[in-house]
Amino acid sequence: MRSRTLVVTIALTVLTGILAYSALSARLERAFDDMAEAERDGPGRNVEEHENDVPLGTEHAASDEVVEALEQHEFSKQATLVSFGIYFNDISHINFVEGTFHINAYVWMNWDPTRFLPPGASAEDERKGLPRAPCDTFGFVDAFELTIEPVVKDPGYAQFRVIGSIRQEFKLDRFPLDRHVLRVSIEDEEHADHILRFEPDVRNSGTNDFRITGWKHERPIASTYTRLYDTNFGDRSLQTGDESFFSGITFEIPIRQVRLAYFVKLTCGLFISTLLALISLVVAHYGVDRLGFPVGALFAVVASQWVVGEALPPRAPPTIADWLHVISFGVILAVMLVNVRSLLVLEAGDPERSKEIDRRWFWIIGPSWLGVCILVCVLA
């Protein structure tokens, strides 16, 4: 009976190891390639142009009605093209709890001065039949405590210094093995797309040689898009009825964690605590309070879960870290039940069977715990 149980346990352990290796090997190889590429290329600096005239945000699929409306929308050939560029001096304070990140950048734009009023024109000047200059009507999407200071405002050219925070919804289901795309979007707040359309100044845009603590940033990607609003904001001059279309431009910076240092730092206490609970199954009952091992581990896992919760929004969806804690809670509960069962058998006067229960469940729970943790990290 014992030999059969041992054979089954060994077979399950080997099978779990094979499955985990096959699922993990490709991801590890890609991770090592990313690390080598990051060390070789250094910080991303040049800007890459992306697809134009697409709805903003690839992580949130647009509804069929929005896609159909954008496809049927005819872009005016009379719209003035405004070249827009950005140079990032620094990006910092990536805050998952508040959903913000801080930028320090210069932005500029070029346009045909004969098609617009001079910068800073008054309301009376608009009676001349020309729209206001783009430098007076642009704005940052989801700006949060953002300061825009003009540096140059000439007819046809303007430059601004931008310092502050941008709101963004982060996808955290793979935390702490997550990747994100920081997005800075600009729209004209007054002129519909039949008057003004943005185009990226790819040649002159880029980033400074800055570092984001704990992250590695890649080359920025510039793209233009058209935003559909289900209202004309009361502007009866628009030919689109109760809808309005506004041109926008977005600059995206992909960021990723190159090394696993943060993952190890965040989960080290969790794994050690769970392992200590498992060790109680190989300790003799005599002279040791084995039930104290899983109880102490339980408090340690609760503390680890509290630390993880401090780094995430209160109502964030379940993350990899959350699932690892749930698994640890389950392992500790199983170890506690096994300890109780083993102790009852020992008190009944059968020490050999008590040891057999400990050994059997140690080799069942231990490899299963490791295998499930690996699969959660790989498949989440």
Q: Which tokens hold the place of 352? A: 């050999």
Per-residue pLDDT for the chain (380 aa), expressed as one digit of tens each? 445 555 555 555 555 555 555 554 555 455 445 544 544 444 444 455 544 443 333 334 445 554 555 455 555 557 889 999 999 999 999 999 999 999 999 999 999 999 998 898 776 666 667 888 999 999 999 888 899 999 999 999 999 999 999 999 999 988 988 889 999 999 998 888 888 999 999 999 988 888 887 788 888 899 999 888 877 676 666 655 667 788 999 999 999 876 677 888 889 999 999 999 999 998 877 767 888 899 999 999 999 999 999 889 988 889 999 999 999 999 999 999 999 999 899 888 888 999 999 999 999 999 999 999 999 988 87
Backbone angles phi, psi at 140, to 5 degrees: -90, 135
Q: Specify the pLDDT at position 211.
A: 83
- For residue 107, the cross-strand partners are 86, 160
CATH number, domain containing residue 86: 2.70.170.10
Residue 62 sits in the same domain as residue 175: yes
Final residue of a structural domain among 256, 286, 306? 256
Residue 120 sits in the same domain as residue 225: yes
Residue 169 sits in the same domain as residue 207: yes
Output the pTM of the full model: 0.74
Among residues 369, 368, 345, which one has the least CA distance to residue 356?
345
Final residue of a structural domain among 256, 286, 320? 256
Is residue 199 within 8 A of residue 81, CB to CB? The reply is yes
Residue 180 sits in the same domain as residue 264: no
Pairing of strands 244-256, 138-140: unpaired
CA distances from 231 to 9, 56, 131, 150, 246 (A): 65, 18, 21, 31, 11
The number of beta carbons lying within 10 Å of the beta carbon of residue 251 is 25
Backbone angles phi, psi at 232, to 5 degrees: -100, 10
Q: Specify the pLDDT at position 55.
A: 37
Residue 149 sits in the same domain as residue 21: no
Residue 200 sits in the same domain as residue 346: no
Residue 205 structural domain: 44-256
Q: Specify the pLDDT at position 215.
A: 86
Is residue 325 within 8 A of residue 273, CB to CB? The reply is no
